[in-house]
Amino acid sequence: MTDAASPLFRPLAVRSLQLPNRIVMSPMTRSHSPNGVPGPDVAEYYRRRAAGGTGLIVTEGVAIDHPTAVDNPRVPHMYGDAALEGWRRVVDAVHAEGGRIVPQLWHVGPLWGAMNPKADPTLVPMRPSGVWGQVGVTSYGEEYVTRASEPTRAMTEEDIEQVIAAYASAAAAAAEVGFDGIALHGGHGYLLDSFLWDRTNLRDDEWGGDLERRSRFPATVVAVIRSAIDPGLPILYRFSQHKQQDYTARIAESPEELGALLTPLARAGVDVFDASIRRFETPAFEGSDLSLAGWAKKVTGTLSMAVGGVGIGTTLRENRATGAAPTRNNVPELERRMDDGEFDLVAIGRLHLADPALAATLRRGGPLPEFDRTVHETTLT
C-alpha cells in the first residue's frame, strides 16, 4: 500500500494518548540497567526509536517493588530514587523526539530463577498454588526445570495483597515520572498469567477455580492501577496462550473461554490487549482464520494489538539456535488484516533492534532490515 493508504500510518487515540501511527516497539529484555537503574545508554536506545518514527514504545519488562519480582540484577526497576531518575531521563529523551512511551510492569512469578541461577534461594517464588506448571516444550535447560519443578508454598492472602500494592505503587511512580500510560506483562507463564493458566492455578478459593475466578487476580491488579493513575492514561495488557514452561499450553480452548478470561480485565480498565503469539497471523481457534489479537478484540470489544514474527521468517525460539533470521515480507498480510479491522496496532520486536528507524523504513516501503541475534541482541544501540 501507499503511505497514505496503509493502516499502519493512521493515527489512533487511546484515552488521552494520541498516536501518530499504529507501529509499536514491542517490549524486549535487554539487561543493560545495572542494579536496576537505566542509564544514559538506555535513554539513547529508546530515543533513537522515537526519532525513527515509532508511534509507541513499550519498554522492556520493569520490576515492581517486590522481593521476587525479577531475579536479573540488570533488569530495570520502577522503584528507588536512582531508577526513577533514570526513567525520567528516558521519558524526557523520548518526548523530546515527539515520541510516546509506556513501561511494561513485570513480576516473573513462578519463573523466578530462570534468568539468574544464583537468585537468592531463601526467597519463595510467587506461585498461585506452589507449582511451576506443566513441563512441556520449553527452551529451559534440564537443570533449571528440575529445580523449578519442586513445589513451593502457595501464595497467601498477605502475598496477594503485597503484590497488588506493589503494582499500584509502580504504576503511580511511572505516571509521576511522565510515562504516557502503563503496560502489564500478563503472558508467557509469569505471575499474572499463572493465575489464568489452569496448570499453575489449582486454587479453589476466590482467586481460582472457574474461568472468571482465575481472572480475578489480574483484573484486581488492573483495577488498582486504574485507580492509581490519571484516567486519561491507557493500560495495555499482554496475554498469551503459550507459556515458557510449555509452548503448547493454552489458557482458552474456545472463543467463549477467551472471552470469559479477558472480559473481566477489560471491565477493570484494560484499553488494549497485546496478544502475544509466535506468528501474528496464526489462527487462534479451529474454524476461523482470525488471529489471537482478532479474537481478543471480538470477544471484548476492546482495542487489540498483534505481535509475532513481523518481517521475520523464524520464531524467536528457532532464531536462538541459528542467530541470523531470514527476512519474510508479511507486511502486506499485516496491512490487510489491519485494514479489515481485525486488530488495531502491531507490536514489532526484533526488527526494531535491527533498525531503530523501522517506522520510517516501513513508510517508504522497505527493504526490511535483516535481524542477526549475534549482532543486534548483544549490544544496546
- Taking phi over 0 as left and psi of -120 to 50 as alpha, with beta for the rest, 46 belongs to alpha
- SS3 state of residue 92: helix
Residue 79 annotated to the active site = no
Phi, psi (rounded to 5 degrees) for 317: -65, -45
At residue 309's C-alpha, the angle toward residues 40 and 255, to 5°, is: 115
Angle of the 216-228 helix axis to the 255-268 helix axis, nearest 10: 30
- SS3 state of residue 321: helix
Cell triple for 311: 518481517
Catalytically annotated residue among 45, 46, 167, 190: 190
Burial degree of 158 (CB within 10 A; 0-12, 13-18, 19+)? exposed
CB 196 within 8 A of CB 261: yes
Angle of the 81-96 helix axis to the 40-51 helix axis, nearest 10: 20
CB 87 within 8 A of CB 96: no
Look at strands 17-19 and 12-14 and give their pairing.
antiparallel
Residues belonging to the active site? 190
